[in-house]
């Protein structure tokens, strides 16, 4: 069965009485180059164990299974399980795990089912959970890389440089944990049904060591404070978040001691400058 052929996919889903769910972000790929190029971009070999989130009808799963040692695909929609049993019947290195990726214990799942493999994530992510799921995957410390298709707007935020409109707390979180690359765009016409936005594939190559030495909690407390009110100066943003511990004059001095002008906005700062701020504010 050709999972890139819209007729085959519609026929398959019809036979199983499947109904698309918008709230589960179900936009299935129907262009064969896309799952192939995503799997290729993940840079897999037989030493790799892949966690896929949301296999849908299994088009990306098949590409992953051909390249990796083993694939574990987490699918929340139980009505897709009989579909996947059919489309993945020829692959003995794929395990479909029913469940919600946001609730599953990924460390236990990997230890049980992917022991001995180098762990990677590769997925066409459900758009409604893009940010929390990427955060969970990065914070888990389990994976060597994440190669994921997401909304282009979020892909640009992940890879954004300081001082640009797309730059924010999520850029800093992703760039703290990983080297982030925007690889290629995928037009809406490649999906069934077509989403309203353009998609893009990003690769997050997880760093072996953090790029700055500072406790992550302290770092992200300053980052969150700086971006909580984007239009405020850094000084005013810090005064809102750290006002109990520091007077405004003390905060002004902290900013000046970091070599920054007192009128600077948070969006101008890179990871190293946020790390220095975090140390000075008592990391
Ligand atoms: N991989 C398929 C493809 O590329 O055609 C489907 C991708 S579709 C964008 C997202 C998939 O994630 C759907 O199969 C959906 O049911 C599943 N999904 C949605 N929320 C999920 C969650 N919280 N945990 C696991 N799977 C989820």
CATH number, domain containing residue 31: 3.40.50.150
Q: Are residues 25 and 122 in the same domain?
A: yes
pTM: 0.96
* Residue 68 is assigned to a structural domain of this protein: yes
| pLDDT tops 80 at residue 253 | yes
CA distance 39 to 60: 7
The CA 123 to ligand 1 mean position distance, Å, reads 8
| pLDDT tops 70 at residue 283 | no
Q: Are residues 129 and 260 in the same domain?
A: no
CATH number, domain containing residue 238: 1.10.8.100
Alpha carbons within 13 angstroms on the beta-carbon side of residue 67 total 19
pLDDT in tens, 192-225: 999 999 999 999 999 999 999 999 999 999 999 9
pLDDT at 128: 94
Distances (CA, A) of 145 to 118, 130, 149, 179: 10, 16, 13, 9
pLDDT at 9: 96
Arithmetic mean of pLDDT, 123-145: 97
- Residue 171 CA from chain centroid, whole number: 11
Q: Are residues 196 and 221 in the same domain?
A: no
| pLDDT tops 90 at residue 230 | no
Q: Are residues 60 and 90 in the same domain?
A: yes
The CA 192 to ligand 1 mean position distance, Å, reads 13
Domain enclosing residue 81, as ranges: 6-206
130 pocket-lining for ligand 1 (C-beta < 6 Å): no
Estimate the crossing angle of helix 234-242 against helix 216-228, to 10 degrees. 120
CA distance 48 to 77: 26
- In the chain, the number of structural domains is 2
- Pick from 54, 122, 131 the residue to mutate for probing ligand 1's pocket: most ligand atoms within 8 Å of its CB: 54
Q: Is the CB of residue 280 less than 8 Å from the CB of residue 258?
A: yes
pLDDT at 282: 85
58 pocket-lining for ligand 1 (C-beta < 6 Å): no
pLDDT in tens, 40-61: 999 999 999 999 999 999 999 9
Compare 271 and 4 and report the one with higher pLDDT.
271
3-state helix, strand, coil in the chain (%, to 5): 45, 20, 35
Of the three residues 184, 206, 228, the one that is the final residue of a domain is 206
Q: Are residues 159 and 247 in the same domain?
A: no
pLDDT at 231: 84
Question: Helix, strand or coil for residue 144?
Answer: coil
Q: Are residues 111 and 156 in the same domain?
A: yes
CA distance 136 to 207: 16
Q: Are residues 249 and 135 in the same domain?
A: no
CA distance 121 to 261: 41
CA distance 49 to 43: 12
Of the three residues 175, 206, 237, the one that is the final residue of a domain is 206
Compare 60 and 1 and report the one with higher pLDDT.
60
* Residue 1 is assigned to a structural domain of this protein: no
Q: Are residues 116 and 74 in the same domain?
A: yes
Estimate the crossing angle of helix 59-67 against helix 33-41, to 10 degrees. 40
Query: What mean pLDDT, rounded, does the chain reach?
Result: 96
pLDDT in tens, 19-30: 999 999 999 999
Q: Are residues 104 and 199 in the same domain?
A: yes
Q: Are residues 135 and 233 in the same domain?
A: no
Two structure tokens written together for 283: 């990391």
Q: Is the dihedral of CA 136, 141, 143, 148 positive or negative?
A: positive
Q: Are residues 91 and 201 in the same domain?
A: yes
Burial class (CB in 10 A: 0-12, 13-18, 19+), 213: exposed
The CA 52 to ligand 1 mean position distance, Å, reads 9
- Percentage of the chain beyond pLDDT 90 is 98
| pLDDT tops 70 at residue 120 | yes
């Amino acid at each position: 069965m050709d999972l890139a052929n819209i007729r085959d996919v519609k026929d398959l889903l019809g036979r199983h009485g499947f109904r698309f769910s918008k709230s589960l972000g179900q936009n299935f790929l129907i262009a064969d180059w896309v799952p192939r190029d995503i799997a290729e971009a993940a840079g897999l070999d037989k030493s790799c164990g892949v966690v896929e989130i949301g296999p849908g009808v299994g088009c990306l799963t098949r590409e992953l299974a051909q390249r990796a040692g083993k694939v574990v695909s987490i699918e929340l929609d139980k009505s897709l399980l009989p579909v996947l049993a059919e489309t993945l019947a020829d692959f003995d290195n794929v395990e479909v795990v029913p469940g919600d990726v946001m609730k599953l214990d990924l460390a236990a799942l990997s230890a049980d089912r992917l022991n001995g493999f180098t762990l990677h994530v590769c997925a066409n992510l459900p758009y409604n959970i893009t940010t929390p799921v990427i955060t969970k995957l990065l914070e888990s410390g389990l994976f060597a890389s994440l190669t994921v298709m997401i909304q282009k707007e979020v892909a640009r935020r992940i890879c954004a440089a300081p001082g640009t409109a797309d730059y924010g707390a999520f850029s800093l979180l992703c760039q703290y944990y990983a080297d982030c690359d925007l690889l290629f765009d995928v037009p809406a016409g490649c999906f069934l049904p077509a989403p309203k936005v353009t998609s893009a594939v990003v690769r997050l190559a997880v760093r072996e060591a953090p790029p700055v030495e500072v406790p992550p909690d302290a770092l992200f407390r300053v980052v969150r404070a700086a971006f909580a009110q984007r239009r405020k100066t850094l000084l005013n943003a810090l005064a809102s978040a750290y006002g109990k511990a520091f007077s405004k004059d003390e905060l002004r001095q902290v900013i000046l001691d970091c070599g920054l002008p007192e009128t600077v906005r948070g969006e101008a700062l890179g990871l190293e400058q946020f790390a220095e701020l975090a140390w000075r504010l008592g990391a």
